[in-house]
Amino acid sequence: MPDYQPPKVWTWNKENGGKFASINAPTAGAREDKALPVGDHPLQLYSLATPNGVKVTILLEELLAAGYDAEYDAHIIDIGDGDQFGSGFVDLNPNSKIPAMLDRAPKAGGEAIRIFESGNILLYLAEKFGAFLPQELPGRTETLNWLFWQMGAGPFLGGGFGHFYHYAPEKIEYAIDRYSMEVKRQFDVLDKLLADRRYIAGEDYSIADMAIWPWYGAVARGEAYGDAATFLALDEYKHVQRWIAKIGERNAVKRGRIVNKSWGDVQLENRHSAADIDEALAP
């Protein structure tokens, strides 16, 4: 294949979009007039059970399990069908990415607050309920170190490695090698960290674990990007594997990861009460 020579000025060619050509475009904004559904609870989540969406539903289920009044409605946003470009969702998140949330009962009172970007939603909820984020400065800072590490590292795992290894219409050796190297480096960062601590930010479970587990756990468990776990030899990261297994055993994690899910053996497209999850998980 001849070397690609970029033109002087780039123009969009939809035919080169691959798997996501039908929804991707170099423009922002609403593509159709479409209101969002609204449930009864103060917290309204609009999401999909991708790793970024699962972060938030895990935290919400952990809050409920810990006794906090964190009841919520979770409405599915099918990004394959372009739901994220409806006018209601764009009003909630102008970037048209899941997850997005509306809090109709903010802690300080006043008008409803929109929250988008998964890391920000985790931080917002942790501060709203005073849970899963240490109050003292050293512990809080260490937790946020790793929360923001995930937000910065995740695109290399998903948009970089995941795209070029699994989704791209052509296998490009340079791209796959480049992102494979980076993903293995990230796993090594986590493995060295977890050699000396139980959880990501220390001895206590926190929003840092909830942010990192859905991404790195899915790949290491063979649930993302085909045979990526084998290709990357992820079984060699023993401390990460121990941590992944430990988090995966938590009941709230099992509950949270099926919310807004429309594929697989256990599905729950919309969640309005704990009973919805109970029914979905019933044998």
Cα–Cα distance for residue pair 237/213, rounded to 1 Å: 14
Q: What is the pLDDT of residue 217?
A: 98
Q: What is the pLDDT of residue 3?
A: 82
User: Exposed, middle or buried: residue 234 (CB in 10 Å: 0-12, 13-18, 19+)?
Assistant: buried
Tens digit of each residue's pLDDT (9 = 90 or more) over 72-84: 999 999 999 999 9
In the β-sheet with 43-47, what is the strand arrangement from edge to edge? 72-76, 43-47, 100-103, 113-116
pLDDT of residue 226 exceeding 90, the answer is yes
pLDDT of residue 14 exceeding 90, the answer is no
Cα–Cα distance for residue pair 155/68, rounded to 1 Å: 32
Confidence band of 261 (pLDDT split at 50, 70, 90): very high
Percent of the chain with pLDDT over 70: 99
Confidence band of 20 (pLDDT split at 50, 70, 90): confident
Residue range 216-220: mean pLDDT, rounded: 98
Q: What is the pLDDT of residue 1?
A: 53
Q: Please report, as a single letter, which amino acid is at residue 107.
A: K
Q: What is the pLDDT of residue 13?
A: 86
Residue range 181-202: mean pLDDT, rounded: 98
Mean pLDDT estimate for the chain: 96
Residue range 187-194: mean pLDDT, rounded: 98
Cα–Cα distance for residue pair 7/2, rounded to 1 Å: 15
Query: Residue 89: which of 80, 99, 81, 103 has the closest Cα?
Result: 99
pTM: 0.96
Residue range 209-227: mean pLDDT, rounded: 98
List, in order of start, the domains of the chain with CATH numbers: 1-132 (3.40.30.10), 137-249 (1.20.1050.10)
